Amino acid sequence: MSISVNPEIRNYSESVFWGLTLRQFLFSGLGCLVSVGIFFLLKDAIGMEAVSWACILGMLPCGLLGFVTYNGMTAEQLLAAVIRSELLMPKGSVFKPVNVLEHTLQKSVKRRRLHKNTERRRNGKEKAEN
């Protein structure tokens, strides 16, 4: 005899009705109520096929809220995280590399250039005098 235990205790969820968690059951019931409301509002205005598609589309958000989990977050937590990261937080960092070697040797490079320039001037004056 073996007993199955969740490897991660935080992933445990208790089934309340028909194998659904309380959250899934409540959102399923809400989705059914939304679908029934859409059906009675639109059944006389548009055709039956269009009403059935409207009922499905009306129930879809409730189903997503009840059943979707991503990285341990529920749908509304995921939506809040996406809004926070994409809209409220500043976008991407710009990488500006710093050449450490050039930065540390910059003074010696300037000295060498200055030294070469002064030597050229001296050599030019000596040739002109001769």
pLDDT exceeds cutoff 80 at 92: no
What is the spatial distance between Cα 117 and Cα 111, in angstroms, rounded to a whole number? 10
In which band, very low, low, confident or very high, does the pLDDT at 10 lie, cut at 50, 70 and 90? low
pLDDT exceeds cutoff 80 at 123: no
- Per residue in 31-71, pLDDT tens? 889 999 988 888 888 888 888 888 889 888 888 888 878 88
Residue 91's pLDDT is 72
What is the spatial distance between Cα 7 and Cα 11, in angstroms, rounded to a whole number? 8
Q: In this prediction, what percent of the chain has a pLDDT beyond 90?
A: 2
Q: Could you tell me the sign of the dihedral formed by the alpha carbons of 55, 57, 61, 67, in that order?
A: positive
What is the amino acid identity at position 93?
Answer: S
Residue 28's pLDDT is 85
Q: Where are the domains of the chain?
A: 1-89, 100-129
